[in-house]
Amino acid sequence: MAIVGVGAILVWKYVNKPSKDFVNEKIDFSYSCKDLLEKTSSDTAAAAQLLNHLVGVDGEVINIIKEPNALTIELGSSSSNASVICQIDNRHLDDFKQTNVGDKLSIKGKITACSADDELGLGSSIQMNFCSINK
């Protein structure tokens, strides 16, 4: 009975451990939003190599989605359907309180997905999570 209790506690601690905070980590790569979108839409191998890397992206805010405990900032250009979608790390929501559409930002985060759409005209997108200000 005690072994089951200890096992249950260890499993609970493992499942509920906090995620890593990348705010003080050095980025692996740095791109302008335009360059990153071009790189990943024209070279699927390059896009695959960027997955799960900490990447810095400089760009213009084209959309902000605020939810009660979440913030998503979309970087891109109003003249293009392609964008970098940045899910902001909850520990750093306050750093983006004054952010508005049209602002220029440097954000870093882990790339979790890249999708290129040349056929339907929807535009390419890059998904990033654990995002924070790139200082």
Question: Which structural domains are found in the chain, ordered by start?
Answer: 22-133 (2.40.50.140)
Per-residue pLDDT of the chain in tens (135 residues, 90 and over written 9): 566 555 555 555 555 556 677 778 899 999 999 999 888 877 778 788 899 999 999 999 999 999 988 999 999 988 888 899 999 999 999 999 999 999 999 999 999 988 876 565 566 889 999 999 988
Q: Tokens 């906090």 belong to which residue?
A: 18
Provide the pairing of β-strand 29-32 with 54-67: parallel
Residue 35 phi, psi (nearest 5): -65, -40
Q: What is the mean pLDDT of the chain?
A: 84
Would the pTM of this model clear 0.85, i.e. be above it?
no
**Residue 95 φ/ψ, nearest 5 degrees:** -65, -15
CA 41 to chain centre: 17
Q: What is the pLDDT of residue 5?
A: 52
Q: DSSP state, 2?
A: H
Spatial separation of the C-alpha atoms in residues 86 and 96, rounded to whole Å = 12
CB 56 within 8 A of CB 30: yes
For 62, counting Cβ atoms within 10 Å of its Cβ (0-12 exposed, 13-18 middle, 19+ buried), the class is middle
How would you class 133 by CB atoms within 10 Å of its CB: exposed for 0-12, middle for 13-18, buried for 19 or more?
Answer: middle
For residue 46, what pLDDT is reported?
78
Q: What was the pLDDT predicted at 3?
A: 66
User: What is the Cα gyration radius of the chain?
Assistant: 17
Per-residue confidence (pLDDT) for residue 121, from 0 to 100? 58
- The Cα 135–Cα 119 span in angstroms is 37
